[in-house]
A = this chain, B = another copy of it.
Amino acid sequence: MALTLKDLARLANVAESTVSRAINNKPGVSEEKRKEILNLADKYNYKPNRLAKGLAEKRTKIIALLLPDLENTLSLKVISAVEEELEEQGYQMLICNTKKDISKTENYLKMLLEDQIDGVIILGGTPTTGKMIQIGLDKGERIVLVDKLLEEVVLTSHLIDHNKSGTIAAERLFKNSNKIKPVILIGEENDYIEQERLRGFVDVCKKHGHKPEILTGINTRQDGYESFFQLVNNIDIPTGIFFTSNIAGIGLIESVKTGGWLIPDDFEVIGCEDDIISRISNPKLTVIKNPLIRMAQNAAKSLIDSIRSKTVTGEVRIYEPELVENDSTK
C-alpha cells in the first residue's frame, strides 16, 4: 500500500495540515519545512489519492466526453484532441458512448451534479433532454457543446457554420461554368446540420439560376451507389454533386465510374470532411473540411478555464469550414 499524507506527516514530524499545505503550494509553511517535506515526498514517491482529494475538495479532475457513437474516425479525432488538451492540464477523460441513448447522457450529467466529475463535453449527435438543460443552467459553465446547437439555453458552444459548407460547395461547383447541373445528397432529412448545408447549397444555386436536385436519406455506400440511378435518367453533363457523407460518396463514385463517366470531367463531386476516406478515394476528393480538432481543443480549454475560474461566459464560437481542393473537381 502506498504512502499517505499521514505517513508523510509522521516521517517529517509535523501535522498533516502542514504537509497538505506544503504539497499543494499553499501559504503558511516556512520555506525550510516545505523543502524538507517536498524532499521526503519525492524520496518516498508520494502520490496524493485522487479519490480522497476529490471527496474533500468536491472536484475530481475528471471530465466526461459524451459521444453519439464510436463508429467513425471523427470520434477518434475528437477523443484524441480532447485527451491531449486535458492531459496537459492534469485532467483525465471518461469516454461515454451514448449510442444516441438519452439515458446515458443523463447519467453523466447526474455525476456532474454530484461532483463526481468536473465537467462534460458533449459532441454533436448526442441526444439531450430538457431536464438536462436545467442541470446545465444550474451548473453554469461546466458543460460545453461541440458542434451541437442547443436553442433552449445558453451554454458555451463551439459551432460549425454548416450553412457555409453548402455555399462553399455550390460556389466551387459553379466556379468554372454556370451551366453545371447541381445535385446534393444528404442523409437524415430532419437533421439540423443537414438542413443547414442544404439551405446554403440551395441558396447559391438559386443565385446562379439553378434549382438543385435533392436526394435525401443517402447514408451508406450502398445508398450512394444507388443514388446515381436516380440521376441517370436525365443526365446533364457536366453535373456537380455535393454529398455530406463521404462513404456514400464513395458509393456514388463507383457507380459513376461503372457507368463509364469520368470524374471530374463529366461529374464534379465534393465531399464533407477531410478524412481517410476522402484521401484514399480515387480520385482524391475535394472536400469541405471542418476544424473539428481545433474545436475540440478549444472546447476542452474553455471547459477547464471555466472550471478553474468558476466564471460563466456562455460564449459561442463559430468556426468556418473550408474548401480543400483535390482531384474530384476541376
Residues of chain B within 8 A (CB-CB) of A115 are 49, 51
Question: A residues bordering B, Cβ < 8 Å?
Answer: 2, 47, 49-52, 54-55, 60, 62, 70-71, 73, 75-76, 79-80, 83-84, 87, 92-95, 97, 110-111, 113-116, 247, 250, 276-277, 280-282
CB of B55 within 8 A of CB of A83, answer: no
Q: Give A117 Cβ to nearest chain B Cβ, in Å.
A: 9
Within the oligomer, what is the number of copies of this chain? Answer: 2
Q: List 17 A-B contacts (CB under 8 A).
A: A49-B55, A49-B114, A50-B111, A62-B94, A70-B80, A70-B83, A76-B76, A83-B95, A84-B97, A92-B94, A94-B94, A95-B95, A247-B280, A276-B276, A276-B277, A280-B280, A282-B282
Please give me the residue from chain B that is nearest to A254 by CB atom. Answer: B282
CB of B250 within 8 A of CB of A280, answer: yes
Residues of chain B within 8 A (CB-CB) of A47 are 110, 114
Given A97-B87, A250-B280, the answer on whether A116 and B50 have CB atoms closer than 8 Å is yes
Residues of chain B within 8 A (CB-CB) of A84 are 97
Residue of B2, B50, B70, B250 near A79 (CB, 8 A) is B70
Please give me the residue from chain B that is nearest to A113 by CB atom. Answer: B2
Could you tell me the distance between the alpha carbons of A63 and B92 in the complex, rounded to whole angstroms?
Answer: 12
Residues of chain B within 8 A (CB-CB) of A110 are 2, 47
